[in-house]
Amino acid sequence: MTCPPGTYLAFDFGERRLGVAVGQSLTGSARPLETLDCRQGIPWERLRALLDQWAPAGLVVGLPLHADGSPSAMSEAAERFARRLHGRYHLPVHHVAELLSSVEAEARLRESGGHKAGLDAVAAQVILETWFAEAAHGAS
């Protein structure tokens, strides 16, 4: 897998919330942006505004998998979200297993004294950093 240089947005998809992070492939670093409320559906207008603001080279969606690598109940919903992102915005959409991203996000928030309200955005940050690391090591 190659990761063209540029800015990327990542998403931690959930039925109620969507965590968003932004990062740079050159440095392999990411930061949480915001958590969007999805209880009334995907906030497509806000996503468009974020894409207009950051002009990403691509998007990364975390796929929730079980520890053995098999799909979870949320995997199909996350894949559907990824297909919809690609269909609406015509950007490359990459997937990365998000195994334990929320656990890592909780640990980071505890260390930094952050608020749990930012958990989903920090999970998106973990997802993007994982994807950058896998791309740097040639993982698929």
Two tokens at 92? 């490359």
From first to last of the 140 residues of the chain, give the pLDDT tens digit: 567 889 999 999 988 999 999 999 999 999 999 999 999 999 999 999 999 999 999 999 999 887 777 888 889 999 999 999 999 999 999 999 886 666 565 666 566 665 555 778 988 999 999 999 888 776 54
Residue 88 neighbours by CB under 8 Å, 6+ apart: 44
The CATH superfamily of 7-136 is YqgF/RNase H-like domain (3.30.420.140)
**What integer pLDDT is reported at residue 140 of this predicted model?**
44
Q: What is the pTM of this model?
A: 0.85
Are the C-beta atoms of 129 and 8 separated by less than 8 Å? no
**What integer pLDDT is reported at residue 17 of this predicted model?**
92
C-alpha 6: how far from chain center: 16
How far is Cα 123 from Cα 10, in angstroms, rounded to an integer?
Answer: 9
CA distances from 26 to 8, 23, 30, 34 (A): 11, 9, 11, 22
Q: How many CA atoms lie within 13 A of 79 on its CB side?
A: 9
